[in-house]
Structure 1
Amino acid sequence: MNSISGPAPVTASLDDPLYYLANFRFVLGWVGERHGDLLTAVERALVADFEALPQPSQALLVRMVMRKGELFRSAKLCYPEVGDTQRALTPLVEGGWVEADPPLGLAELFHLLRLAELRRALAAEIAAVGLTPRASKAVLQETLQPRLTQVQRLAEWWPEAGERLSGESIVRLTVMPWCDRLRLMFFGNLRQDWAEFVLTELGLQRFERVELTPGSRAFQHREEVDAYLALHALRERLEQGESPAALVDEMPVVPAENTWLAQRRGRLAFLLGQSAERHGQETLALRLYAESGDGPGGQVEARIRRLRLLERRGEHRQAHALASRAWGSDLGEQETQALARLLPRLCRRLGLAPPGREPDVAPQRLDLCLPRIGSSGVEQAVAEYLSRPEAPVHYVENTLMTGLFGLLCWPALFAPLPGAFFHPFHAGPADLHHDDFVARRRERFEACLARLDDGTHGDAIWRAWREKRGLASPFVHWEALDEALLEQALACLPAAHLRACFERLLTDLRANRAGLPDLIQFLPGGEPRYRLIEVKGPGDRLQDNQRRWLAFFRAQGIDAVVCHVTWQQDAAS
């Protein structure tokens, strides 16, 4: 394995009661060394100020950072390794790391206080609205929220709080924006958090070791960090129910040279467009879909939704012009499929000749009427019915073909390219879904796929399976790819079929890694020695990505069948 330069990526042992503090310090050191130029003087001073805090105060601060939310009751901050909570809090309050007795809104009050405490604190308001004291917490909050909009300290909400809570205090963490910025610069995203260190120490998550250079980092400019944080905050507000019209003008401008950040902005524009469409704000939705879908790296879903919305509004001529222009360009399968359905409808409404297209061919069909077996799913029922000792059936769905691809192409996927890896906890390259992901690794992927031509792919796959087993991968689900299944797959799947499937995966890794058939049956003798089976229960229909895979299999001469199942009791009724 390659080594990682810079601070050693070793998490603290969980035997150390201050393991979380050691991990936090590791991140501080990593960010300071690799991203110091992206920090302001104030942010760098915070790092120095943190190091100057007493160790119990450092530990308590990190405990709060790693918990959910920013508001805490001091009684909930008791940790043996910290010792006296109030003594540890004092330097944090004096240094501005936390705020003592902060102003609270009603929602925050409900979050902090127990139901019995709320009934005492808000007894007069509860009586004024005619609620019984036995009303639930949710009913109390819903009823009182329109009336109690003030923001005030706990003693103003509840004058007897000091006596009732026996001196217990409320504190608010004030440095979460700084901590989130550090976490973002370390991980390159806000999906991962401090739990990564713990999972690694427990052995529940293991990562490939990739060589990192001093230039290996997620962000090159502070403006990129600012834009990411702004986009993330807007998405959170959208998910919390804010109107897209109120958010759209706050969309940040992203640096033109940062294509992945532009794609992230485009994704948010698409989500805002979806929300606007749901709220009947169709003009805004069309504007956002256009913004999201246009230009390099535009969102395919946005272009499709824009056309469908134009069609629904009766703006057929504009929809036809956009669809026709797209039809003549280099499209991916998803967009081609959508336009092949949409354009004939638009042409009929406008009295135009429809574009030429290949007629749809129904996939091979197998109908089964099976007894319902306990609570097992329909896929399991079909697998048990069709499986024979000489022709076993395995449930593989999106794990076998992608797993073989991930093992064969491991050297290309985990190549230490700039911008792909920048910390020790990568489950896969950070640019996996960027437009230029394959292009940047074209020669590496070709070298891996060439093994399918010279017959050495089996050795490469087995070597990766043994050497990398258990390491996180975006394509290999280890629990679904045991030795017996791998042996049968390599014996029965022709190399030419694997190459064709892997090449299709590479045309759109995000879209094509899903939609693969549920089952595979290995067949004795003959060529090919397998068939793929997509299972559909009563009332279930093929999804678009499944239809695209089935059309591809048909074109490649790969045996694939759609098995439609009815239950015997359903048939009898």
Structure 2
Amino acid sequence: MPTEKTPPPVLPDFYYLNNFLTLIEYVAQQYTDLLNENEKAWIDCFQMLPRDGKALTVRLLSRRGIWFREDKLKYSEIKDLSATLAELERVGFVSLSNQPATEVACDLLTKPELVNLLSDCPLKKQEKKQVFVDYALETKPTLTLPFQCIALHHQEIMPVFLLLFFGNAHQDLSQFVLSDLGIHQYEDVEISKAYRLFRQRKHITDWLSLSELSEQLWLATTAKDIPCILGIASSVQASTAFETIEWQPMERKRQRLLTRIGRELERQSQLDDAVLFYQQSALPPARERLARIYTKQNRLALAADIVKDMLESPVDEDEQETAGRIARQLAKKTEINAPEKIKAAFESETVSLSIGRSVELTVAEYYQSQGWQAWYSENLLLNAVFGLTFWDIIFSPVEGAFLNPFQRSPRDMYHESFSSTRKDMLESRFRQITQHGLDYIFGVYKEKHGTSNDWVNWHYVTEELLSAAINSLSSAQWVGCFRRLLFDLRANRKGHPDLFMVKEGKPCFIEVKGPGDSLQYHQIRWLNYFDHLGIECKVVYVESATQ
């Protein structure tokens, strides 16, 4: 029987203005000492505008570009658009003209409109728009347009305000809308000026500069614009971005950018320049790439020295394992002591099945026919239990961790500082689990259901699955899993087996591999660790019964 669809929520007319007012109120409260005089004056002037003036300003700031056509602005909640624009021009927020520079006019006009304005143009109408643009630029200093053009001023304030509110350069006002619509619900976190991220004006300007460089690199890489990539690398090499920064959040951002540039240079066989960039970064895969470049250049002693450092002080398990693989290759030509290859300590079996819509679900049905309960659990179950177990610790007030109400996790969630800063709370929770188990997380599940948490996917994690997992693994086994996650939260939240199964209270994790599929290193590490904890696990290789 068909069910009626729930009508989509309707946002109030000025929802975007209310959201922007929240944003600038936060910025003014938290960072007034770091705002420059222009930004402070802009806020004061904005607050003095009538509601329609505020609303139109936000609408324009939220659009791409700085030039707009009045006749293309359709905002029903703004009663008198022309009068409102005149008010914004009076306070210096916009300029109005129907005779902008020809380049601007051509950008705003459609091809038919441009052709119509160039009535004396000898070109055939079938020519592409760019041909008419070139003609106009050569022959017309200005064009008189049949509509007002709007030039937005002070657009540079928006990136500053968004950065101060969100703590990054990629979120924008649409984040508010997701919350307004009820699509995302967020944990109520304590936001205090004492815990703010930015401490100096230089932090803000440098962050925006690095973000702009990162955006330029992404665009050039996406477009495969090699000259642009090389140009970015050259300009960065000559800039302050090649100098170490004491403030760690910025230094991590700098090193990520330099590692990306190094990788692009390496792809273009600019190996010596790539080395210079990699040497500036301690973040993976910089040391790995250095070792591989030196190996390629037959500078084996340098490669061996780097690999030794990676083995002695790996940043994470991936780097440690990568170093082992390179060391085994170098051991054939140098005296480096290479670790043995990690061996699988878990079982495997091969089954022949008629593969349906997915090989994982086919294997789940295969075991269900043998009396097992089976759930799809890849990167879902362990992460969810972790997120529920440590919910209050994840969202505890820590300096620089929470900057705004729209965070799914603290800013340092995937840095080493997460564990070190909260060490006492984590150890206390481990003792609690050891003594009393994990039954308390069902209360957390009910209380927080639907609230955004980077570790919990509410669409897949049911109470039935949680109950089966918590009742079949011991407290010691759960503590072991949590400690491994905490060792490297970013890397170890991945690589979990595809299926979790229970039969007569006995758990088993299954990694499914279809035809042509092979185990990844991070999957092997998790399976070996389960075996170490005494948790049954295995790999099931599936052959197609129809072939």
TM-score w.r.t. the length of structure 2 is 0.88
1:203-245 alpha-carbon deviations (Å, 9 max, x no partner):
2111111223331222111111111111110011111213242
For the residues of structure 1 that align with 2:271 and 2:120, how far apart are their CA atoms? Answer: 46
TM-aligned CA deviation for residue 119 of structure 1? 6.2
Deviation string 1:21-49 (CA, Å, 9 cap, x unpaired) is: 12211211111111000001111001111
| Alpha-carbon separation, structure 1, partners of 2:101 and 2:521 | 52
Is the 2:101–2:141 contact (alpha carbons within 8 Å) kept by the matching residues of 1?
A: no
- The structure-2 alpha-carbon separation of the partners of 1:377 and 1:171, relative to structure 1 and needing over 3 Å to count, comes to farther
Gap change, CA 1:78 and 1:476, over 3 Å in 2: same
Residue 446 of structure 1: which of 415, 427, 436 is its match?
427
Task: State the one-letter code of the partner of 2:206.
Answer: A
CA distance in structure 2 between the aligned counterparts of 1:123 and 1:403, rounded to whole angstroms: 66
Which residue among 486, 500, 511 is the counterpart of 2:480? 500
Q: Structure 2 vs 1, CA of residues 414 and 114 (structure 1 numbering), >3 Å: closer, same or farther? A: same
- Provide the residue aligned with 2:126 in structure 1: 133
8 Å CA contact 1:538–1:566 kept in 2: the answer is yes
**Secondary structure of residue in 1 paired with 2:379:** coil
Q: Which runs of 5+ in 1 are unaligned?
A: 1-12, 294-298
For 1:506 and 1:62, the matched residues in 2 are separated by 42
- 8 Å CA contact retained: 2:324, 2:341: no
Change (3 A) 1:256 1:247: closer
The answer for the alignment partner of 2:166 in structure 1 is 187
Find the counterpart in structure 2 of residue 562 from structure 1. Answer: 539
Alignment match, 2:401: 420
Q: Which moved more, 1:115-124 or 1:397-406?
A: 115-124
Shift of 1:504: 0.5
| Counterpart-to-counterpart distance in 1, 2:212 and 2:46 | 26
Amino acid at match of 1:431: D
Instruction: State the distance in 2 between where 1:378 and 1:123 align.
Output: 65
> Does residue 347 of structure 2 align to residue 368 of structure 1?
no
Residue matched to 1:296? none
Matched residue SS, 1:176? coil
On the 8 A contact 2:345/2:531 being kept in 1, the answer is: no
Structure 2 gaps of 5+ residues are 1-8, 221-227
Alpha-carbon spacing, 1:326–1:126, altered in 2? closer, same or farther (3 Å): farther
Distance 1:370 1:341, change over 3 A: same
Contact map agreement 1:519 1:533 (CA 8 A) in 2: yes
Structure-1 residue corresponding to 2:72: 76
Alignment correspondent of 1:8 = none
Counterpart of 2:233 in structure 1: which amino acid? A
**Is contact 1:405–1:502 with CA below 8 Å preserved after alignment?**
yes
- Shift of the 118–270 alpha-carbon distance from structure 1 to 2, 3 Å rule, reads farther
Deviation at 1:394, TM superposition (A): 0.6
Structure 2 Cα separation of the partners of residues 384 and 410 of structure 1 = 33
What does residue range 378-527 of structure 1 map to in structure 2 within 5 Å?
A: 378-388=359-369, 390-459=371-440, 461-525=441-505
Decide whether aligned partners of structure 1 residues 100 and 385 sit closer, same or farther in structure 2, where only a CA change above 3 A counts.
Answer: farther
Amino acid aligned to 1:539: G
The separation in 1 between residues aligned to 2:106 and 2:378, in whole angstroms, is 47
Q: Is the 8 A contact 1:427 1:473 kept in 2?
A: yes
What SS does the corresponding residue of 1:292 show, helix, strand or coil?
coil
Quick check: 1:534 aligned with 2:534? Answer: no
Give the residue type in structure 2 aligned to 1:207. Y
Report the Cα offset of residue 544 of structure 1: 2.7
| Residues 154-233 of structure 1 mapped to structure 2, 5 A cutoff | 159=143, 162=145, 167-233=146-212
In the alignment, residue 303 of structure 1 is paired with which amino acid?
R
1:56-95 deviation line (CA, Å, top 9, x unaligned)? 2211110122234434322231211112322222232343
**Aligned partners of 1:421 and 1:429 also within 8 Å:** yes
* CA 335–282 in structure 1, closer or farther in 2 if over 3 Å, else same: same
Aligned to 2:223: none
Provide closer, same or farther for how the CA distance between residues 171 and 450 of structure 1 changes in structure 2, counting only shifts above 3 A: same
* 1:269 corresponds to which of 247, 251, 258: 258
2:459 aligns to what SS in structure 1?
Answer: helix
Aligned to 1:349: 333
- Per-residue displacement from partner, 1:273-296 (whole Å, max 9, x unpaired)? 112112222212111111112xxx
TM-aligned CA deviation for residue 255 of structure 1: 8.2
Match of 1:289 in 2: 278
Residue 187 of structure 1 and its aligned partner are, at CA, apart by: 1.3
Code of the residue aligned with 1:214 in structure 2: it is K
Q: Cα gap change, 1:114/1:539 in structure 2, threshold over 3 Å: closer, same or farther? A: farther
Alignment correspondent of 2:312: 328
Separation in 2, partners of 1:99, 1:305: 51
1:150–1:227 CA distance, 2 compared to 1 (3 A): farther
1:477-510, Cα deviation, whole Å (9 max, x unpaired) = 1111111111111111222221111101101111
Following TM superposition, by how much is the alpha carbon of 1:364 offset from its aligned partner in structure 2, in angstroms?
2.5
- Cα deviation, 1:287-345, whole Å, max 9, x if unaligned, reads 1111112xxxxx12222122122222322221112112332335531111001100121
User: What is the identity, as a one-letter code, of the residue corresponding to 1:416?
Assistant: P
Partner letter of residue 78 of structure 1? K
Return the alpha-carbon distance in structure 2 between the equivalents of residues 564 and 423 of structure 1: 46
Correspondent of 1:245 among 215, 219, 233? 233
Deviation per CA, 1:533-552, whole angstroms, max 9, x where unpaired?
A: 11222222222322222232
Paired letter, 1:301: P
Q: Secondary structure at the match of 2:424?
A: helix
Query: Following the alignment from structure 1 to structure 2, what is the Cα–Cα distance between the partners of residues 235 and 149?
Result: 36
The 1:191/1:353 distance shift into structure 2, 3 A limit, reads closer
Is the 1:412–1:448 contact (alpha carbons within 8 Å) kept by the matching residues of 2? no
Q: Is 1:258 matched up with 2:247?
A: yes
Q: For the Cα contact (< 8 Å) 1:515–1:545, is it kept in 2?
A: yes
Matched, 1:303 2:287: yes
Q: Partner of 2:46 in structure 1?
A: 50
Does the 8 Å contact 1:310/1:318 carry over to 2? Answer: yes
The 1:356–1:185 alpha-carbon spacing in structure 2 relative to 1, beyond 3 Å, is: closer
Contact 2:508 2:535 (C-alpha < 8 Å) held by counterparts: yes
